[in-house]
Amino acid sequence: MALTMQLLILILLPTAFLLPPAARTGEIIGGWEAQPHSRPYMAYLDIQRGTKYVFCGGFLVTQNFVVTAAHCNGDKINVTLGAHNVRKPGGSEEVISAGRRIRHPQYNNTTFNNDIMLLQLSKNVTLTNVVSTINLPPAPHRVPPGTTCSVAGWGRTSLNHTTDTLREVNLTVMSNETCNRRYPNYDPSSMLCAGDPGDKKTFYRGDSGGPLVCGGVAEGIVSHCIANSIAPPGVYTRISHFMPWINDTMRRI
């Protein structure tokens, strides 16, 4: 129970429910505004849960599949692709509903193990210079500690500061030993963590589901961090571990 209270599902910020949909945005901590459309695979997920709305990130991997975190599930999800400022559309956006939400069958909302979900879009995306896919890693691949990667999203920069444009930051992949010391439920086979504990650079609320990108490949999915603490490293779902499930699920559907 103590661990559950410590860990925070990043999109569940109570004050976000009081804001109008256009205001539910934020930014990466310690980063900068991304060059518009420099990450054409990024997806903004508008999630309805009953009468409440939250948001997450995600990323396009085929013309009709988006990958995100399992804890980003909801009753209805609209996916916006080709966006930079989510409050001021620029005409390049494609908004498509998620026809199917396929959460990993072994997802655990206490430990965040298997925190991955596939969204099958209700129609194929039109690929353009501002909407395109990102590569996924091979199944046995491991990103070595010390690798510089990057993460992007529309999540908050602090408890009280928000923005509407996509933000990004570079992070260092940490050793499994470092992650185990910070997170008792850390599973090195299905998780990885990034962010130097000495730097105030990390993801935060609202960035859930976005990709950790290393060498142009989506290696991780933003999963969880310590509640109410801007203290890296944060934990990501290790995508390579789930490649058999991803390929099998997309092929079957």
Options 104, 187, 207, 208, the catalytic residue: 208
Give the C-alpha separation, 33 to 23, whole Å: 17
Options 37, 71, 84, 241, the catalytic residue: 71
Are the CB atoms for 134 and 213 separated by under 8 Å?
A: yes
Report the pLDDT value the prediction gives residue 10, as an integer from 0 to 100. Answer: 46
Contacts of 57 (CB under 8 A, 6+ apart): 42, 43, 44, 45, 68, 152, 153, 154, 155, 206, 207, 208, 209, 210, 211, 222
Tokens (6 digits) for 220:
């991780």
Helix, strand, coil percentages for the chain (3-state, nearest 5): 15, 35, 50
Report the pLDDT value the prediction gives residue 156, as an integer from 0 to 100. Answer: 65
Homologous superfamily of 40-133+242-252 = Trypsin-like serine proteases (2.40.10.10)
Options 46, 115, 187, 207, the catalytic residue: 115
Give the C-alpha separation, 117 to 87, whole Å: 26
Homologous superfamily of 148-240 = Trypsin-like serine proteases (2.40.10.10)
Would you call 104 a catalytic residue per the annotation? no
Give the C-alpha separation, 14 to 142, whole Å: 36
CA angle 58, 55, 104 (to 5 degrees): 50
Would you call 189 a catalytic residue per the annotation? no
Report the pLDDT value the prediction gives residue 199, as an integer from 0 to 100. Answer: 77
**Structure-token match 């209700």, residue found:** 122
**Sequential pLDDT tens for the chain (253 residues):** 444 434 544 443 333 333 333 322 223 666 788 999 999 999 999 999 999 999 999 999 999 999 999 999 999 999 999 999 988 888 889 999 999 999 999 999 999 999 999 999 999 999 999 999 999 999 888 999 999 999 998 876 556 666 788 999 999 999 999 999 999 999 999 999 999 887 777 776 678 999 999 999 999 999 988 766 667 899 999 999 999 999 999 999 8
Asked if the domains 40-133+242-252 and 148-240 are classified in one and the same CATH topology, the answer is yes
Would you call 229 a catalytic residue per the annotation? no
Give the C-alpha separation, 95 to 207, whole Å: 19
Give the C-alpha separation, 31 to 51, whole Å: 33
Give the C-alpha separation, 175 to 99, whole Å: 38
The per-residue pLDDT for range 117-158, each reduced to its tens digit, is 999 999 999 999 999 999 999 988 899 999 999 999 887 655
Report the pLDDT value the prediction gives residue 124, as an integer from 0 to 100. Answer: 97
Spell out the domain ranges in the chain.
40-133+242-252, 148-240
